[in-house]
Amino acid sequence: MRKYRQSPDLVLLGIVFTLVILGLTMVYSASAVKAASQFGDSLYFLKRQLLFAIVGVGLMFAVMRIDYHFWGAWAKLALIACYVLLCVVLIPGVGLARGGARSWLGVGAFSIQPSEFTKVALIIFLAKYLSEHQSSLPNFWKGLVRSFLPALLAFGLIMLQPDLGTGMVLVLTCVIMIFIAGARMKHFIMMGSLGVLGFIGLIVSAPYRMKRLTSFVDPWQDPKQGGFQIIQSLLAIGPGGLLGFGLGQSRQKYQYLPEPQTDFIFSIVSEELGFIGASFVLVLFFLLLWRGILIAIKAPDLFGTLLAVGITGMIAIQIMINIAVVTGLIPVTGITLPFLSYGGSSLTLMLVSIGILLNVSKHAH
């Protein structure tokens, strides 16, 4: 392992710390009422999120010190282990079901989501594979299709849970990486057409997804069922106005907005901190993605570039999907907002990913 001559990207590090602190604050604000009602402890969700934040930050600094090439050597084994976990989680009595998806392993509140680990493992594996087989990418079958196979296998296992949101993030992240690596546009158009047909098939095959789609088109058609989440989210965002009601003063968290501390935490941010607070969060995300792109551009080799592109792309896709859902731009799907939403697996893996990105920045030209 070679010695580093540069410090990590301190701007990125500062942005991440700001987001984590803001996330802990908003998790407490959004969840205190629900936590007190269900568990008799208003700090129930905060204490768990704080524990995962401490673990995640510790892992981030540890990973930051490890040469990113190390992960390429173990990429294949890590991805196989994730495939095994995705299969194990499907076993009744072993995998934990929440919100209609059997996606967790563990006991009670302390559980992990294998699909989160799979996203990171797949990014590392694909970055390694593409950096070694870039010359074959112009070939449709030997390049593009073969590069997509690991992602399609992971997507299939995740859809058995089912978890369409996570599957979308995983596939779109791989699309970005393969495109940046040099695949031909016409091949993407061919695969994209097949992907759209498959996506339509997934929606039509599941009645609850069709219900979400029709509710998205006209949420007031079914305001108490299919359109309930979108309506309550908009009722949080709209009244917030310019400055919001003030930290801790949300009305929608009083059993109106479902899971305000997870998928819809941005709605609470908008309600309590207003347009200015929500814009501040978006600016932080924009700066984070900007630093990720700079790291990718300045990486010393193709593996480092694709690794940075994959991590930055994954974060960007999750941000866009989550914000689009809570503002009613796309149908509801279960995607957390990076660094802000409650969720141990999501926060920990995001911080580990940032650790890898920071190590790539230490080698930047």
Q: Is residue 290 part of a domain?
A: yes
CA angle (307 as vertex; 78, 300 as ends), nearest 5: 125
Q: Is residue 142 part of a domain?
A: yes
Residue span of the structural domain in which 69 resides: 10-362
Is there a contact between 307 and 356 (Cβ–Cβ < 8 Å)? Answer: yes
Helix axis angle, 114-132 to 344-362, nearest 10°:
30
Q: Is residue 58 part of a domain?
A: yes
Is the entire prediction scored with pTM above 0.85? Answer: yes
Q: Is residue 2 part of a domain?
A: no
Q: Is residue 223 part of a domain?
A: yes
Please tell me the total count of domains within the chain. Answer: 1
**Predicted pLDDT at 255:** 76
Q: Is residue 3 part of a domain?
A: no
pLDDT per residue rounded down to tens, the chain (365 residues): 444 457 899 999 999 999 999 999 999 999 998 899 888 888 999 999 999 999 999 999 999 999 999 999 999 999 999 999 999 888 877 777 776 677 777 665 567 788 888 999 999 999 999 998 877 777 777 777 888 899 999 999 988 887 888 888 999 999 899 889 887 777 777 777 776 777 677 666 666 666 666 666 667 676 666 677 888 888 889 888 888 999 988 888 887 888 888 889 999 999 999 999 999 999 999 999 999 999 999 999 999 999 999 999 999 999 999 999 998 888 877 789 999 999 888 899 999 999 999 999 998 87
C-alpha 156/C-alpha 170 separation (Å) is: 11
Count CB neighbours of 120 within 10 A: 21
Q: Is residue 1 part of a domain?
A: no
